[in-house]
Amino acid sequence: MNSSSRQRRLTAAALTALAVAVAATACSSGSGGSTDTEGAGSGTYTVWDPYPQFDKASAWTKLLDKCGTEAGVKIKRTGFDTSDLANKTLLAAQQGNSPDVLIVDNPVVSTLAEAGVLTTTEENKLDTSSVDPNLLAAGQSGGKTYGTPIGANTLALYYNKAVLKEAGVDVASVTDWKSLTAALEKVKKAGKKGITFSAIGTEEGSFQFLPWFWGSGAKLTELDSAQAVSALSLWKDWLKAGYAPNSVLNNTQTTSWQEFATGDYAFAENGTWQLGNAAKAGFEYGVLPVPAASGGNAAAPTGGEFVTLPVQEDTGRYTTTQKLATCLTSTDNLLETDTTLSYVAPTSEVQDKQVAANPELKPWVDAVKAAKGRTSDDLGTKYPKISEQLWKAVQSALSGSASPKDALGSAQAAAK
C-alpha cells in the first residue's frame, strides 16, 4: 500500500475534531513508535494502549509479550491516559513515528482514520468476520473498517432488590418507559428514591442520555424530532416528579454510582465497569437492559477500544503487526482479556463462554448486542459536535432554562 499519499493529511480540522473526540470516553504514559532498525519481521514492535493501570506483572502485559514471542519479536508497550494517547498518536503520525499497534477508544477511530493515521482492514488483512456488526460499526468510516474491537462495555440499569421489594415492584414488569415510570412512582410512595444517572454537561451526559434518545426512535442527525423531545421530556418529568434527583445535572457516572451505593435508590444507569463496586455495595442488586419507549431493549452506546494498525513508512512491518493484532483478538485471548478489562467480548462465541463462566453477565451481553457505536451511521467526525449540542440541550431542559422542544431545536440548529 502507498502510505505516503495519506501520511500527512493531519489538517487543522482533523486536529480540532480529535480534541473534542478524545473527551468522548465513557469509561475508563510514554514513548514513540516504530524506530527500531532491524528487519520488519524481527526486532522490537511498539504497542500503545489506554491502560496505564496495568504494570509489567499484569495479565495484559504478559499477553502482549506472549503475542510478541509467537510473532518472533519483542514488544515495547506504553500505556497512556485516553486523552493523552490520542494526542500522542497524532503527533507521532505527523512525525512518521507511529506505533505499530494502537489500541484506542472507539469514538476516536473514525477521526484518526479520516486524518489518514490508520490502515484499513482490507489493507492490513485483519479478519473481522466473527465480530458482531453493531460493535464493528464503531470503527467504520466511509464504507471502510479500521481495526477490530478488543471488547465492549455499555450501559444498563442496576436495581436494588430490597428497595423494589419494599415498594411492591416486580422488576419483570419493567419493560418500557411507562412501566418504569410506574415503578418509580411506587418507589417514591414507599419513601425511597427512584433513579439516578449522569446528565452532566460533558460527553458523559450525552453517553447516558443516548439509550433513552435512541430508545425513543430518534436519530442523531435530527436532534429536534418528536421522538427526541419525548426522550428529554421523560428525564425532565422524572426530575419534576422527584423520581430523579436534581444532582443528576452535575453527576458524573462515578458520583451517580455513589448515590446508588447508599442503598436508597431503586435504579441507577451505569456500566459494566461498576460490577466490582456492585459486588461490594452491601445489598442485593440486579441488572436489566435500558428499556426502549415501547418495549424491548434500547440501543445503548458502546464503550471500549479498537485494536488498530497505524500507517507505517516501512510497509513491510504490516505482516508482523497483523499477527500481533490477530493474537490479541483471538478467541482464547479475548476471553482472558475481556475478563481482565470487565468487557463483554465482541464475538458471540466468546460471549457464550463468558456467560457460561459467569451467568450474571447475561444482561450485559444482551445490552451489548443491542448497543450502538456513537460514531455509527457514518457520523465519523460529525459526532463530537452533535454530542456537544445534545448535552447542552439536556442541561438546558433539566435546569429549566428551556423546554425540551426548544432546547433540542436550538441543538439541531447549532449542530448543522
Instruction: Identify the residue with better confidence: 265 or 378.
Output: 265
Q: What is the pLDDT of residue 336?
A: 85
Is residue 3 assigned to a domain?
no
DSSP bridge partners of 333: none
Assess whether 308 and 296 both reside in one domain: no
Assess whether 131 and 231 both reside in one domain: no
Q: What is the pLDDT of residue 40?
A: 57
Assess whether 178 and 32 both reside in one domain: no
Q: How many domains does the chain have?
A: 2
Assess whether 271 and 324 both reside in one domain: no
Mean pLDDT of 306-312: 97
Tell me the residue type at 387: S
First to last CA, the chain: 36
The pLDDT tens digits for 102-122 are 999 998 998 899 889 999 999
As a whole number of Å, the CA-based R_g of the chain is 22
Q: Is the pLDDT of residue 214 over 90?
A: yes
Q: What is the pLDDT of residue 57?
A: 92
Assess whether 89 and 196 both reside in one domain: no
Q: Is the pLDDT of residue 137 over 50?
A: yes
Per-residue pLDDT band for 23 (boundaries 50, 70, 90) equals very low
Is residue 2 assigned to a domain?
no
Is residue 407 assigned to a domain?
yes
CA distance 107 to 118: 14
Identify whether the C-beta of residue 125 lies closer than 8 Å to the C-beta of residue 322.
yes
Instruction: Identify the residue with better confidence: 410 or 84.
Output: 410
* Mean pLDDT over each residue of the chain, to the nearest integer: 89
CA distance 342 to 405: 38
Please name the residues in contact with 258: beta carbons below 8 A apart, sequence gap of 6 or more: none
CA distance 57 to 60: 8
The C-alpha cell 445490552 sits at 367
Q: What is the pLDDT of residue 41?
A: 60
Q: Is the pLDDT of residue 8 over 90?
A: no
The pLDDT tens digits for 284-302 are 999 999 999 999 999 999 9
The pLDDT tens digits for 165-204 are 999 999 999 999 999 999 999 999 999 999 999 999 999 9
From 202, 206, 199, select the one nearest 399 (Cα to Cα). 199
Could you tell me the residue range of the domain that residue 142 belongs to?
12-152+304-370
Q: Is the pLDDT of residue 13 over 60?
A: no
Which grid cell is 258? Answer: 455513589
Is residue 140 assigned to a domain?
yes
Query: Of how many residues is the chain composed?
Result: 416
Assess whether 20 and 112 both reside in one domain: yes
Is residue 284 assigned to a domain?
yes
Assess whether 136 and 184 both reside in one domain: no
Three-class DSSP category at 370 = helix
User: Quick one: what percent of the chain has pLDDT higher than 90?
Assistant: 78
Assess whether 86 and 224 both reside in one domain: no
Q: What is the pLDDT of residue 42?
A: 67
Is residue 200 assigned to a domain?
yes
From 183, 201, 343, 349, select the one nearest 266 (Cα to Cα). 183
User: Quick one: what percent of the chain has pLDDT higher than 70?
Assistant: 90
Give burial (CB, 10 Å; 0-12/13-18/19+) of 398. Answer: buried
Give burial (CB, 10 Å; 0-12/13-18/19+) of 189. Answer: exposed
Assess whether 240 and 335 both reside in one domain: no
Question: Of 351, 370, 389, at which residue does a domain stop?
Answer: 370
Give burial (CB, 10 Å; 0-12/13-18/19+) of 5. Answer: exposed
Assess whether 124 and 243 both reside in one domain: no
Is residue 5 assigned to a domain?
no
- Worst-scoring range by mean pLDDT, 129-138, 301-310, 332-341? 332-341
Per-residue pLDDT band for 3 (boundaries 50, 70, 90) equals very low
How many CB atoms sit inside 10 A of residue 58's CB? 14
Assess whether 160 and 56 both reside in one domain: no
DSSP bridge partners of 269: 157
Assess whether 260 and 360 both reside in one domain: no
Q: What CATH number does residue 337 fall under?
A: 3.40.190.10
Q: What is the pLDDT of residue 339?
A: 82
Q: Is the pLDDT of residue 38 over 80?
A: no
Is residue 7 assigned to a domain?
no
Q: What is the pLDDT of residue 412?
A: 97
